Amino acid sequence: MEAPSERNKIILSRKKSALLLIDIQEKILAVMNNPEQVVTNSLKLIKGFKTLNIPIFYTEQYPKGLGSTAEPLLHELEGLSPIQKMSFSCSGAGNFFTRLIDNNVSQVVIAGIECHVCVQQTALDLIVSGFQVDVAADSVSSRKEIDYRIALDRMRAHKIEISTSEAILFELLNVCGTDEFREISKIIR
């Protein structure tokens, strides 16, 4: 059998992708289920997307009350400005969806909190706006495990791709044996 000449359209492409980190803020992160896992895997995504030169965006929900983005992430996000919002969905964050379109983004990878609130509402709004959405299940969380699980199930039912940070980075790499592959291999260890 011959190798296919065309790849499945849901496979992430670095030319069409962006990373969106939703509300990984100090005050709310502390009460999440598995907060260390969220930070560790979000850092992998940030470093990987930077290595691959893919756009990164991040939001902060009501920073006056919930504080700023977690410090380990802020260090890696240096040079970028947070998109501040009051709405749960990023669709309510000014012209954010237009910014994605203007950057030729049609595939959005999401990490963040809370999975059943801001992540889920943003993912559902992105889907209805014509974007492909990939949620990194090991980079999102909720306070309660049941909210996390139900949100992933609901998003999957609405055609949102559920994956992991490592699978996402390898999808974007596409091939091994490159300097980028070696760098990302170090990041995921």
pLDDT band (50, 70, 90) for residue 94:
confident
Tens-place pLDDT, residues 39-77: 999 999 999 999 999 999 999 998 888 889 999 999 999
Q: What are the domain boundaries of the chain?
A: 17-188
Name the CATH topology of 17-188. Rossmann fold (3.40.50)
| Identity of the residue numbered 139 | S
Alpha carbon distance 108, 55 (integer Å): 10
Please check the confidence at residue 1 and state whether its pLDDT lies above 70.
Answer: no
User: Parallel, antiparallel, or unpaired for β 107-113 and 17-22?
Assistant: parallel
More confident residue, 6 or 111: 111
Residues 26-43, mean pLDDT to the nearest whole number = 95
Beta strands in the chain, from DSSP E residues, in sequence order: 17-22, 56-61, 83-85, 107-113, 132-141, 161-163
Cβ within 8 Å of residue 49, ≥6 positions away = 19, 55, 56, 109, 172
Cβ within 8 Å of residue 109, ≥6 positions away = 12, 17, 18, 19, 20, 45, 49, 134, 135, 136, 168
Sign of CA dihedral 83, 89, 93, 99: positive
